[in-house]
Chains A and B, each alone.
Chain A
């Protein structure tokens, strides 16, 4: 699981550099996200522009993160490819996670 982190205008942007997000990486992804939230991150953008595949296990990691964050924070998704968008649509998670075409679009929305 390879993640690069950056903070832009108070929003933490995580660039996921692992192209296939499946059950082999979901536990690490979950632990990473929960660790950041427990450390105080409240605005998070996940840049999935490199991700070509995502399954329900990885989606579960994101759900754990948004539940841990609760109503005080936000997690947005940026740069999803078609296969990833389909997963979010089929599972209705596009109603839970705001989806944006680019990181700047997502950051602009999350900046207070």
Chain B
């Protein structure tokens, strides 16, 4: 896909069509959220001026739906993935000013998928996201 937020919906809906056929409704919705968060991160944090495309592969296996996103963006520090999760989404409801507007994407990806890994592979990165069919 192009490194363009305007292309996000078209690509996400295409992947969601596969997810709807492969998974139950909740699972497909979770994959939709994870894919959009991952692609948004890739577009916003990547090198827009490079013009390099973001490649996406979707595999519908017997056990799971596997989505891999290949990019040439600068590698993400791996500790960010290790720290992501429900605890990063805790908020103090009594203090609205302390609630951040952004920074939830990676934790939402981790919570939506059964397995998430990030790989630095030479000049490119690969994010692998797996949603199992039986949970």
Contact = CB atoms under 8 A, between A and B. Distances in A.
Nearest to B104: A56
B12 A22 contact: yes
A82 B8 contact: no
B101 interface: yes
Grouping DSSP codes into helix (H, G, I), strand (E, B) and loop, the A interface class, with mixed when no group exceeds half, is helix
A22 B26 CA distance: 19
Interface in A16-65: 20, 22-24, 53, 55-57, 59-61, 63-64
Interface residues on A, range: 20 to 34
Contact of A23 (B8, B90, B108): B8
Q: Is the interface of B mostly helix, strand, loop or mixed?
A: helix
A55 B37 contact: yes
Contacts, number: 84
Interface string A62-90: 01101100110000000000110011001
A52 to B, nearest CB: 9
27 contacts: A20-B9, A22-B8, A22-B40, A23-B36, A24-B5, A24-B6, A53-B32, A55-B40, A56-B37, A56-B104, A56-B108, A60-B104, A63-B100, A63-B101, A64-B101, A66-B96, A82-B25, A82-B26, A86-B26, A87-B33, A90-B86, A91-B89, A91-B91, A91-B104, A92-B89, A92-B93, A95-B91
